[in-house]
Structure 1
Amino acid sequence: MKIVPDTDLVDPAHKTARATPFYYHTYFQVILAIVAGSLIGHYAPHTGQALQPFGDGFIRLVKMIIPPVIFLTIVTGIAGMRDLGAVARVAGKTFCYFLFFSTLALVVGLVTANVIRPGSGIHAKIGEAGHHAEKLDKYISKAHDSNVVDFVLNIIPDTFVSAFTSGNILQALFVAILTGIGLALMGERGARIYGVLEEVSAVAFRIVSILMKAAPIGAFGAMAYTVGTYGAGSLADLATLIVTFYLTAIIFVVVVLGLVGRWAGFSILRLIAYLRGELLLVLGTSSSESALPSLMNKMERAGCPKSIVGLVVPMGYSFNLDGTNIYMTLAALFIAQAYDIHLSLGQQALLLGMAMLSSKGAAGVTGAGFITLAATLSILPTIPVAGIGLILGVDRFMSECRSLTNFIGNAVATIVVARWEGVLDRKALAYALSGHGEDPGAPSLTAE
């Protein structure tokens, strides 16, 4: 979609969208849904738990459309580039960016845990974590099954079609890259197929727009279930850990990613405002995947080429998990401090290295944040893996912060890689972040 930066030339539909009463906007409805769900979960916990299918159903609807959206975006993006060397260059730069900032996030979590020491004074005993034994066994078994080799092999789908049915984003990404390269090598015949896929892509995003209208219902059900199941009272026991994690994530986003944004020529706060609808949806559902299609669409409208968006965003959902990485090292040291276990500088460096490996091995797995933590502790014998039971009751509340941080990190990465490649449309970016870039026909949560 072509974005006209001159406000005098804006299509009348945009003016109508801006004049629409605020209560018609989906993002406002999502806010109400989150508040209503929280109240029901708190005052009627059994009712809140019974509303879980609404949240799960919405997430399943979004996951249903994610593989075709990724496939169509990447195929048309690569086929439109024609220069396959550019595709390899973009992928290489993206991996370098992800590796650096994922490692930086792990270090930030490590430093914060050493400075604030949220686990000091708890003096936990091994048996105190045992009341979650059944759930712990599930996470620990998944952690043992997660390793780098299996993760790499799992990128290759059993069949071409199974890449769209497995729910694994990387399998859809793998098949899409191969198809896009094949299409780019076909010449004139490929150009005809490219035109058809462009039309199909428009249909896919229209479906996303339809599905997003159910976002308030999904957020309502998910929040009611979360509060009804775990209870707001569980937050008090580990308030120091939760507050420390949220503050660390905020500092990472505002300071670290803010400086990256300044270098790339945009304000991180304006980007957050631009993505406010999607962020509210992530908050309500505790899943960054729920807003993945909308993020891809909005990044294109913000001046990032389809080829960049198609590669960076899906890859980021598995390799650029800033919030998850902060959580891993912070939570690991919290458990060590709770058990009065002193870790030397060398042991903390080993923890950092193990966290880097295990975070890649469990990427794309449901509950990846908790599973990667269990995987890291199972490799590092100094900290008892059963200690994760201390934070299992509040993990869901920290999962929301992980998802939000991951989401913002991937949005920033997309813009940075586009600028790095010299293909970022700065006028379109400035126009979108100014608040005038809304498209009432797009699958966004900020306009109807």
Structure 2
Amino acid sequence: MQITPSPAAPPVRVPWYRQLYAQVILAIVLGAVLGHFAPAFAESLKPLGDAFIKLVKMIIAPVIFLTIVTGIAGMTHLRTVGRVFAKAMAYFLFFSTLALVVGMIVAHVVQPGAGMNVDPAALDPGAVEDYVQRSHELSLTGFLLDVIPKTLVSPLVGDNILQVLFVAVLFGISLALTGERGRPVLVFLEALTAPVFRLVHILMRAAPIGALGAIAFTIGKYGLAVLVNLAWLVGSFYLTALLFVVVILGAVARACGFSVFKLMRYLRAELLLVLGTSSSESALPSLMDKMEKAGCAKPVVGLVVPTGYSFNLDGTNIYMTLAALFIAQATNTELSLGHQIALLLVAMLSSKGAAGVTGAGFVTLAATLAVVPEVPVAGMALILGVDRFMSECRSLTNFVGNAVATVVVSHWEGALDRTRLDAALNGAAREPALATAVEPR
């Protein structure tokens, strides 16, 4: 049985300063100003961003568990679970690979590292030693084994999204097969969903503070000047990610009957939060909530969004091939077609193994270059200074990619309420102010 939200009330006009996206914009601007003019003080604000991300991660496991379990247990046919998962994985595999190819093509066309003539022997490998060391922990076998938790409840007190997903799917199927005897458990979990999502909205009130702390630290520590030296690489990456979202994801969205621009407008508060914190996980609970309200079926949201956070990293994949070829060009390393194909295949695997790893983009790049020795790993030191600035773009692209995937898979599954989707994307659905209590679903 699926919980159907009550009909949306007419839009309520609220002062701009009480809206989440407006508050986050102001926080980002203030953080950038502090970072530029008072860098020492701005660096000290880092705990604000870290604390907010920890608050959000605290609630991610319960949100995923409750959404998936109640969604699956309410399905009339359990074969639907496998069908949704298969469609989602097919989508993720295709577009993740396409993102890698796009990054590689742009690197050849733009040539961001050409003419730098860097001697690999002159680079400091110690600067990236920590990332290389962590990359050695990534392997396909280790990744698959890590999906299985130590106990049934340990994922709920950890931070591994795939473990939560694994246990939630198994428990949801078990609860559905239990039949009427499991009905009280399902009713309890459905009732528990309301206060958990209310807690999500309460925590989101701290979003502007978290965004201010995170962006102030980034600008204060690294400064805007570091962007000038590698502006061609950073600009190429941002432009490529923008074209991927607008052209490729835009075409997919149009084929499924919705606009990617309207979807981004609907998720503008979450996008700004991701921009400010440089973490797509900071908006995961809110994304799941909003995608349900936009007409995507609850079981589809529960399966696609958490899985996509591990397997549908479009922004990270664009970054990996673009950065790898940038290092090769900067160090005058010649790569044959065979080397580049090997680089692509290794990146396809390593990008999946980095799920849940802190600094996944840089760690995955280290893992990829370690397997393709033609490109010097020490060359990563060239982009270490600007990686933080590219992290925001990676997170934004990953976030939009997962939002589009959720709507597309819902459309394929015939589990998309077009009326609610149109209402949400056209601004007809109510979007309460940040300080206003949100009605539980």
TM bucket, shorter chain? over 0.9
Determine the structure 2 residue equivalent to 1:34: 28
What residue in structure 2 maps to residue 273 of structure 1?
A: 265
| 2:337 aligned partner | 345
2:275 — aligned with what? 283
Contact 2:35–2:43 (8 Å) recurs in 1: yes
Number of residue-to-residue matches in the alignment: 436
Deviations along 1:259-294, one digit per CA (max 9) or x if unpaired, are: 000011100100010000000000000000000000
Is the contact made by 2:14 and 2:433 (CA closer than 8 Å) also made in structure 1?
no
Q: Determine whether 1:98 maps to 2:88.
A: no
SS at match of 2:220: helix
Specify the alignment match of 2:153 in structure 1. 161
Q: Does the Cα contact within 8 Å between 1:26 and 1:445 map onto a contact in 2?
A: no
State the identity %.
60
1:220 corresponds, among 188, 209, 212, to 212
Q: Which one of the candidate residues 102, 111, 120 is aligned to 2:114?
A: 120
Gaps of 5+ in 1: 5-9
Which residue pairs with 2:11 in the alignment?
15
Distance 1:277 1:225 in 2: 21
> 1:301 maps to which residue?
293
Kept after mapping to 2: 8 A contact 1:128/1:390:
no
C-alpha contact 1:205 1:443 (8 A) present in aligned 2: no
In structure 2, what residue type is equivalent to 1:265?
G
Partner of 1:44: 38
1:7 aligned partner: none
Check whether the contact 2:20–2:433 (CA below 8 A) recurs between aligned residues: no
Q: Distance in 2 between matches of 1:223 and 1:387?
A: 26
- Specify which of 149, 171, 187 is matched with residue 179 of structure 1: 171
| AA in 2 matched with 1:93 | K
CA contact (8 A) 1:294 1:443 kept: no
Q: What is the one-letter code of the residue matched to 1:23?
A: Y
Residue of structure 2 aligned with 1:334, choices 326, 330, 352: 326
Could you say if the C-alpha distance between residues 129 and 28 of structure 1 is closer, same or farther in structure 2, counting changes exceeding 3 Å? farther
Give the superposition deviation at 1:440.
Answer: 2.4
Q: What SS does the corresponding residue of 1:187 show, helix, strand or coil?
A: helix
Structure-1 separation of matches of 2:155 and 2:274: 24
Distance (whole Å) between structure 2 residues aligned to residue 3 and residue 269 of structure 1: 26
**AA of the residue aligned to 1:254:** V
Residue 416 (structure 1) aligned with residue 419 (structure 2):
no
Residue segments in structure 2 that go unaligned for 5+ positions in a row: none
State the TM-score, normalized to the length of structure 1. Answer: 0.95
Quick one: distance in 2 between partners of 1:65 and 1:103?
A: 31
The alpha-carbon distance between structure 1 residues 94 and 46, as it changes in their structure 2 partners (threshold 3 A), is same
Task: Determine if contact 1:332/1:373 at 8 Å carries over to the other structure.
Answer: yes
CA distance, structure 1, for counterparts of residue 276 and residue 174 of structure 2: 40
Work out whether residues 281 and 291 of structure 1, in 8 Å CA contact, stay in contact via their aligned partners in 2: yes
Contact 1:79 / 1:183 at 8 angstroms: preserved in 2? yes
In structure 2, relative to structure 1, the CA distance for the partners of 1:446 and 1:77 (3 Å cut) is closer
Q: Distance in 1 between matches of 2:428 and 2:183?
A: 34
> What is the alpha-carbon distance in structure 2 between the residues aligned to residue 26 and residue 77 of structure 1?
28
Aligned pair partner of 1:141 in 128, 133, 143: 133
CA distance in 1, matches of 2:67, 2:268: 23
C-alpha distance in structure 2 between counterparts of 1:444 and 1:372, whole Å: 41
**Aligned counterparts of 2:387 and 2:286: Cα–Cα separation in 1:** 26
Deviation at 1:15? 3.2
Report the CA distance shift for 1:433/1:372 in structure 2 as closer, same or farther (over 3 A): same
Deviation at 1:165, TM superposition (A): 2.0
Residue type of the partner of 1:415? Answer: V
Q: Does 1:242 align with 2:253?
A: no
Name the counterpart of 1:2.
5
Deviations 1:61-81 (A, max 9, x none): 000000000000000000011
**Matched-pair contact (CA < 8 Å) for 2:31–2:213:** yes
Normalised by the length of structure 2, the TM-score is: 0.96
What's the CA shift for 1:196? 1.0
Map of 1:401-440 to 2, 5 A cutoff? 401-440=393-432
Partner of 2:77: 83
Q: 1:60 and 1:220, CA in 2 relative to 1: closer, same or farther beyond 3 A?
A: same
Question: C-alpha offsets along residues 128-151 of structure 1, whole Å, 9 cap, x if unaligned?
Answer: 531x72x41110001111111101
The offset of 1:122, in angstroms, is 1.0
Query: How far apart are residue 23 of structure 1 and its match?
Result: 1.3
Q: Which amino acid aligns with 2:77?
A: D
Superposition deviation, residue 42 in structure 1:
1.1
Give the direction of change, closer, same or farther, for the CA distance of 1:24–1:274 in structure 2 (3 Å limit).
Answer: same
Q: Within 1, Cα distance between the matches of 2:138 and 2:436? A: 35
Secondary structure of the structure 1 residue equivalent to 2:150: coil
